[in-house]
């Protein structure tokens, strides 16, 4: 997936630039801009996928943490707590 996005994103960037440079109407300029932007997003997404794959490889090689090894705020002080009961 990462390779496909990278391989398809680079020509899309180049095509967007060429369409924009040789555009004879505003519609074609918009088409070139959109094509360039979608190519940049495809290349960026392939980079994000690469980082996620790297993180997954690191986490699976080290094993997962047990619940007592993870430090966490008590539920009363946790930012996502919306309860009405408060301790003193």
Report pLDDT digits (tens) over 19-58: 999 999 999 999 999 999 999 999 999 999 988 888 887 7
Residue 79's pLDDT band (cuts 50, 70, 90) = low
**Cα-atom radius of gyration of the chain, to the nearest Å?**
23
- Report the C-alpha gap between 53 and 45 in whole angstroms: 12
Q: What is the DSSP secondary structure assignment for residue 63, as one 8-state letter?
A: -
Q: What is the DSSP secondary structure assignment for residue 69, as one 8-state letter?
A: G
Beta carbons of 9 and 42 less than 8 angstroms apart? yes
Judge if pTM exceeds 0.75.
no
Element (H, E) at 86: none
Here the tokens at position 65 are 């943490």
């Amino acid at each position: 997936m990462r390779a496909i996005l990278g391989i398809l994103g680079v020509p899309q960037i180049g095509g967007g630039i060429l369409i924009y440079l040789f555009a004879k109407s505003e519609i074609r300029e918009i088409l070139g801009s959109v094509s360039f932007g979608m190519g940049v997003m495809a290349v960026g997404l392939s980079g994000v996928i690469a980082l996620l794959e790297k993180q997954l490889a690191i986490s699976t090689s080290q094993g997962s943490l047990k619940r007592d090894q993870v430090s966490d705020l008590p539920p009363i002080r946790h930012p996502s707590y919306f309860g009405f009961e408060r301790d003193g």
